[in-house]
Amino acid sequence: MTDSSVWNNADQAYETVRERDAQQGLIWLQPASANNTWAMSVREDLAEENELVSLEDLAAYLADGESSSSPPALSLSSLSKLCLRSRKLTVLS
């Protein structure tokens, strides 16, 4: 079943697993509305002052700063488990 398209739809995947587990006597609760999506954010005043609404805007803001006499500072923090992954932060490097 790993090649099934059911895994491309969260609701269908949930129902499929819920039904199969029910056959084994397991009961699934309703899914929470939260997710485990990673995100980046900046202070509201920085975003408004520099019209930052997307990662592309942030990248352009940082790239423009590299050519100025005082480039903008960027600090990233992360959970240790993210930093320990083999790919780490290669997307940003």
pTM flag (> 0.85): no
Q: Among 72, 42, 43, which residue's Cα sits nearest to residue 55?
A: 42
Q: Where are the alpha helices (DSSP H) in 9-89?
A: 10-22, 44-50, 55-66, 80-83
The pLDDT confidence band at residue 93, using thresholds 50, 70 and 90, is: very low
pLDDT at position 23: 95
69 or 1: which leads in pLDDT: 1
